[in-house]
Amino acid sequence: MTFPDNKFSNAGSYARAYFEKFQDAVETIDWEKLQQAADILTKVYRDGGMVYSCGNGGSAAIANHLVCDHCKLVQTDTQLTPRVVSLSATVEIITAIGNDISYDEIFLYQLRSLARPGDALITISSSGDSENIVRAAKWAKENGLSVISMTGFSGGRSAKIADVNLHVTADNYGVIEDAHQSLMHILAQYVRQAHMDEAVIKQRKF
């Protein structure tokens, strides 16, 4: 059974059921793996490497939003200077690769041009099985990048490829994407506060 599996009579009752599913979903996240992901990002940020993010559809929006929080937010009040690029934001090269080569290559092709060993790739995919995500993750793993994958549903192939898989057990795209967005924010805020003076933390809004 998936959510929803019946018709709701009003938006309020749907919202109540939706948030119950969201709470159930976030309870399935492995917090130890979240720390592992934070450690990977911290190391790349400290070493001056690049972090790349990618996703399709709603996951592309999360990948793009990640650039803002992990570049601007993490740098504020810390000595870290994160360098983050969303491979989902480059519409000109995405359309060129998709039109001339294959949509399956849109992220991999960019990584081949930009990425270096020691960098990291964050893939965001509810299914975990989008071909362009899988190809990018596989190339990254084979070429010295750390791979963090955010997945839902059954996890797909990208869950198996990743060094760290942040999996959300849910069967509704909205619930999964909301959880992935939360994980993106949590990673940024955690890394930032970990590198701030405690007195400053009390003075700031996160």
pLDDT score of 123: 98
pLDDT score of 67: 98
Cis-peptide into 82, omega within 30 deg: no
pLDDT score of 193: 97
Domains and CATH numbers, the chain: 30-201 (3.40.50.10490)
Query: What span, in angstroms and rounded, lies between the C-alpha atoms of 54 and 160?
Result: 17
Query: What span, in angstroms and rounded, lies between the C-alpha atoms of 14 and 4?
Result: 9
Q: Which residue in 205, 195, 204, 180 sits closest to 25, CA to CA?
A: 180
Query: Which of the residues in the chain have pLDDT under 50?
Result: none
pLDDT score of 151: 98
pLDDT score of 163: 98
Using one digit for the tens of pLDDT, what is the confidence trace for 5-59? 999 999 999 999 999 999 999 999 999 999 999 999 999 999 999 999 999 999 9
Report the percentage of the chain scoring pLDDT > 70. 100
pLDDT score of 181: 98
